[in-house]
């Protein structure tokens, strides 16, 4: 089941999170996207600690599609260095994972 991943991407606005979800899912680089937020992020940037309001987009996809997904995110994201983090799916419903595979197939 390690062929499946969840990719986490943060966005600076609800509108940008929607754009990311629509772009990535529309291109079939992910089977679905969930938008969570707003959240508060605290992070180092340009030598100082920053705090900002963000939205978290959770993409469900396959490891094979990570490169395409990452490229699509970079293409439309407003950040210089967007968070694009993939987490392997250790276990999941067989039917659900089969659906993810089918919806992201080339």
What DSSP string runs through 1-52? -TTEEEEEEEESSHHHHHHHHHHHHHTTSSSEEEEEEEEEEEEEETTEEEEE
What percentage of residues in the chain have a pLDDT greater than 70? Answer: 97
Q: Per the structure, how many domains does the chain have? A: 1
pTM (2 decimals)?
A: 0.94
Q: What is the mean pLDDT of residues 47-68?
A: 98
Q: What is the mean pLDDT of residues 22-36?
A: 98
CATH of the domain at 34: 3.30.70.120
pLDDT of residue 2: 62
Q: What is the mean pLDDT of residues 62-80?
A: 97
pLDDT at 79 > cutoff 50:
yes
Which residue has tokens 């900002």? 52
Domain residues for 23? 4-103
């Amino acid at each position: 089941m390690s062929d499946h991943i969840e990719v986490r991407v943060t966005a600076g606005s609800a509108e940008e999170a929607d754009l990311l979800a629509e772009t990535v899912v529309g291109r079939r680089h992910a089977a679905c996207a969930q938008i969570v937020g707003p959240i508060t992020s605290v992070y180092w940037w340009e030598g100082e600690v920053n705090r900002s309001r963000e939205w978290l987009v959770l993409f469900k996809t396959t490891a094979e599609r990570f490169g395409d997904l990452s490229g699509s995110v970079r293409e439309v994201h407003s950040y210089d260095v967007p968070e694009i983090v993939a987490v392997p799916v250790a276990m999941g419903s067989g039917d659900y994972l089969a659906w993810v595979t089918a919806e992201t197939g080339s």
